[in-house]
Chains A and B, each alone.
Chain A
Amino acid sequence: MPEMTVQAEPTLGVGRRTDVLLSVRDLAVSFGLRGQKSVTAVDEVSFDIRPGQHVGLVGESGSGKSVTALAIMGLLPKRGVEVGGTVEYAGRDLRSLREQDMAELRGSDIAMVFQDPMSSLNPVVTIGIQLEEVIRRHEKVDKREARDRAEVLLRRVGIPDPGRRLGEYPHQLSGGMRQRVLIAIALACGPKLLIADEPTTALDVTIQAQVLEVLKELVAETDAALLMITHDLGVVAGLCDEVNVMYAGRIVESTTRARLFAAPRHPYTGGLLESIPRLDKPRGTPLRPIPGSPTQTIPWTEGCAFAPRCRNKIDQCTETSPALEKLADRKLRCFNPLPAEADRNGVDE
């Protein structure tokens, strides 16, 4: 059985001893092609992940969540991209690492599962090799042992007849199975941090639940920390301890799962929860989507990006940019938030 337990101390290199596994501070990413204005995709993003903790990063497409994940992994393109802020893993500054050292960490300490299982696997190489190569990259094992471990991994993610599958090619597997393979690849070397970027979005609804189950079990089993990136609140509800809500590249609300769902304070979060169709409301109740569209934003530098669509908008929202404030029970970026729990009466949950 492969070594999948978490070690309490950081194993690589020197660094401050700390109980925070991943620390992201003021991460900012902007893209600028030659001759064109640069676009800020991510700004002022800060959050921590403790060992074994499950953190969610929620936002719609274009909110910058995937870019954040790629920035952490160091997988953003080298040209045309500017990155600011710090990303510390086990006390080490990832952004200052040489590429070889970063590559050491990838796949072994920090692993990532991507969104589209169709295109995320090499079509002309067998499943077995794609699994074995990550094992042999980070651990000194021979081909035979790598193959055995690969087979065990496939079985662990719930793929039947794993021995045969090792010799097959991605196009011979279904979407759900491919995603399980990707999960197996990510967990192959027992990472301490797993980043999952919308792992189920591209799958059929029925398969989504199964794959999420597998993910949940394995993460629990290995005590790995999880950064779950999704636009689906249902996924977050079942999986994450802490939730960060992103909008237009910045975090707008950050708190525990319970508090977020029970009493959201940022109007965007509130809108998200409100827009969910509910079974416990009478039939014919009109849906309440968030008005406007994601393209209707103003730059954060000029005010609050969500203002054009916000039901709680006040004048200040289009004049000054709200900062992320640390409240008693959460962080919030809003001038006119929804009422706190104690002040609520009869508010729809």
Chain B
Amino acid sequence: MSIQIPPAALAPDTLDSEEEHGVGLWRGAFRRMRRNPTAIVGALIVLGFLLVAIFGPLLTSYQPGSAEWSGQVTPTSVPGPSENHWLGLDRFGSDMWTQLVYGARQSLVYGVVSTALGLTVGAALGAIAGGFGAIGGRFGTWVDTAIMRVVDIMLAIPSLLLAVSIAAVLGQNKYSIMIAVGVAQVPIFARLLRGSMLGQGQADYVLAAGALGLRKRRIVIGHVMPNSIGPTIVQATLNLATAIIEVAALSYLGLGEADPAVAEWGRMLVAAQDRFDVAPRLAILPGIAIAVTALGFTLFGEALREALDPRTRK
């Protein structure tokens, strides 16, 4: 005997505000991020890092790993900040600031390349698995399962250890760390893309497009994939933070390039250990550099994720 108050179906809702009407996903996201203090801090750090890394050679007139002033270093002292070296020397006699700056370049290159590698391979695998899985049928499911089994194998051991193993086997050259960290990131992107594709396969708009007669392939490329871009970029940013740390960890363990002239934050930490009581800055500076850079990317990535999340939008 339920008598409900009838909805007045015909009156249109008034638009909340002009800005919500018709604004794209990205513009709305950036507007939200501008107001978010953590996003701004993250963006500034990332920007600072990029500037230092890209314009490195302009910021310092010295060469990395030159060990020019090794004469000034004694077993009990390492020259601190002075007129010519505003952060002092490192224990091999190179200029500390130069080492840090070139270390930033190294981190940027290694970080970006490995993340790009993980992203490309992982997203491709995930998209294929998800796309075929969404289409279904015996062949589709088989492809999906097969690819995900391979991903499972990669996830059988923790990612850092996976990277360590790969780098150890690849030997001491400059590509080993990049490939190793890149491969370790493949499963994350693969799962992300696959999940995204499968999830959207059931989405109403996809079913609607199918009902309209669009061919499955067109649906996937034209509709499903653009929707996956946002989360992928967020994940890439967050992974870049992890990649920078992992790269440092691997070089700390002695993997990767053997050439001591190449400046790298992780290796600087190794060298700094036995002079800690005379010159703690040798360890503190590179350590903080790693932490702050990773922090910047993490803050930015998380702010981006929040900004793109449809649930937090009004």
Chain A residues within CB distance 8 Å of chain B: 60, 205, 208-209, 231-235, 238, 272, 275-276, 287, 289-296, 309
Q: Across the interface, which residues of A come within 8 angstroms of B4, CB to CB?
A: 231-232
When the two chains form the complex, which single residue of A233, A234, A296 contacts B11, counting CB atoms closer than 8 Å? A296
Most buried by A among B3, B4, B5, B13: B5
Contact B8 A234 (CB under 8 A): no
Contact A232 B2 (CB under 8 A): yes
Main SS at interface, chain B: loop
> How many whole Å from B131's CB to the nearest CB in chain A?
35
Q: Across the interface, which residues of A come within 8 angstroms of B5, CB to CB?
A: 60, 231-233, 272, 275, 290
> How many whole Å from A270's CB to the nearest CB in chain B?
13
Q: Which of B1-46 contact A (CB under 8 A)?
A: 1-9, 11, 13-14
User: What is the 8 Å Cβ interface bit string for chain B, positions 222-251, against chain A (1 contact, 0 not)?
Assistant: 000000000000000000000000000000
- A293–B9 CA distance with the chains assembled, in angstroms: 7
- A222–B4 CA distance with the chains assembled, in angstroms: 29
Q: Do A233 and B3 contact each other (CB < 8 Å), given the known contacts A290-B8, A292-B8?
A: yes
Q: Which chain A residue lies CB-closest to B1?
A: A234
- A232–B4 CA distance with the chains assembled, in angstroms: 5
Contact A208 B2 (CB under 8 A): yes
- A233–B2 CA distance with the chains assembled, in angstroms: 8
Q: Which chain B residue lies CB-closest to A235?
A: B2
**Apart from the given pairs A60-B5, A293-B11, A294-B8, 16 other A-B contacts in the complex at a CB distance below 8 Å:** A205-B2, A233-B5, A234-B1, A234-B3, A235-B2, A238-B1, A275-B5, A287-B6, A289-B6, A289-B7, A290-B5, A290-B6, A292-B11, A295-B13, A295-B14, A309-B8
Give me 12 A-to-B residue pairs in the complex whose CB atoms sit less than 8 angstroms apart, sorted by A's number: A205-B2, A232-B4, A232-B5, A235-B2, A275-B5, A290-B5, A290-B8, A293-B8, A295-B11, A295-B13, A296-B11, A309-B8
Q: Across the interface, which residues of A come within 8 angstroms of B13, CB to CB?
A: 293, 295
- A293–B11 CA distance with the chains assembled, in angstroms: 6
Contact B6 A275 (CB under 8 A): yes
User: What number of B residues sit within 8 Å (CB to CB) of A?
Assistant: 12
- A256–B70 CA distance with the chains assembled, in angstroms: 98
> How many whole Å from A306's CB to the nearest CB in chain B?
13
> How many whole Å from B117's CB to the nearest CB in chain A?
43
- A289–B4 CA distance with the chains assembled, in angstroms: 11
User: What is the 8 Å Cβ interface bit string for chain B, positions 83-103, against chain A (1 contact, 0 not)?
Assistant: 000000000000000000000
> How many whole Å from A295's CB to the nearest CB in chain B?
6
When the two chains form the complex, which single residue of B1, B3, B6, B9 contacts A209, counting CB atoms closer than 8 Å? B1
- A209–B13 CA distance with the chains assembled, in angstroms: 34
- A18–B7 CA distance with the chains assembled, in angstroms: 42
Contact B2 A291 (CB under 8 A): no
Contact B8 A289 (CB under 8 A): yes
Q: Which chain B residue lies CB-closest to A294?
A: B8
5 closest A-B pairs (Cβ-Cβ)? A293-B11, A234-B3, A293-B8, A289-B6, A276-B3
> How many whole Å from B4's CB to the nearest CB in chain A?
6
- A209–B7 CA distance with the chains assembled, in angstroms: 22
- A293–B7 CA distance with the chains assembled, in angstroms: 7
- A70–B174 CA distance with the chains assembled, in angstroms: 65
> How many whole Å from A75's CB to the nearest CB in chain B?
25
- A290–B10 CA distance with the chains assembled, in angstroms: 11
- A228–B201 CA distance with the chains assembled, in angstroms: 44
Q: Across the interface, which residues of B come within 8 angstroms of A291, CB to CB?
A: 8, 11
- A208–B4 CA distance with the chains assembled, in angstroms: 13
Contact B8 A232 (CB under 8 A): no
Q: Across the interface, which residues of A come within 8 angstroms of B7, CB to CB?
A: 289, 293
> How many whole Å from A3's CB to the nearest CB in chain B?
34
- A4–B156 CA distance with the chains assembled, in angstroms: 61
- A291–B4 CA distance with the chains assembled, in angstroms: 15
Q: Across the interface, which residues of B come within 8 angstroms of A293, CB to CB?
A: 7-8, 11, 13
When the two chains form the complex, which single residue of B2, B6, B9, B14 contacts A234, counting CB atoms closer than 8 Å? B2
> How many whole Å from A264's CB to the nearest CB in chain B?
14
- A209–B3 CA distance with the chains assembled, in angstroms: 12
> How many whole Å from B17's CB to the nearest CB in chain A?
13
- A76–B13 CA distance with the chains assembled, in angstroms: 29
> How many whole Å from A29's CB to the nearest CB in chain B?
22
> How many whole Å from A268's CB to the nearest CB in chain B?
10
Q: Across the interface, which residues of A come within 8 angstroms of B11, CB to CB?
A: 291-293, 295-296
- A196–B13 CA distance with the chains assembled, in angstroms: 31
Q: Across the interface, which residues of B come within 8 angstroms of A208, CB to CB?
A: 2
- A287–B7 CA distance with the chains assembled, in angstroms: 12
- A336–B11 CA distance with the chains assembled, in angstroms: 24
Q: Across the interface, which residues of B come within 8 angstroms of A295, CB to CB?
A: 11, 13-14
Q: Which of B169-185 contact A (CB under 8 A)?
A: none
Q: Which chain B residue lies CB-closest to A276?
A: B3
Q: Across the interface, which residues of A come within 8 angstroms of B6, CB to CB?
A: 275, 287, 289-290
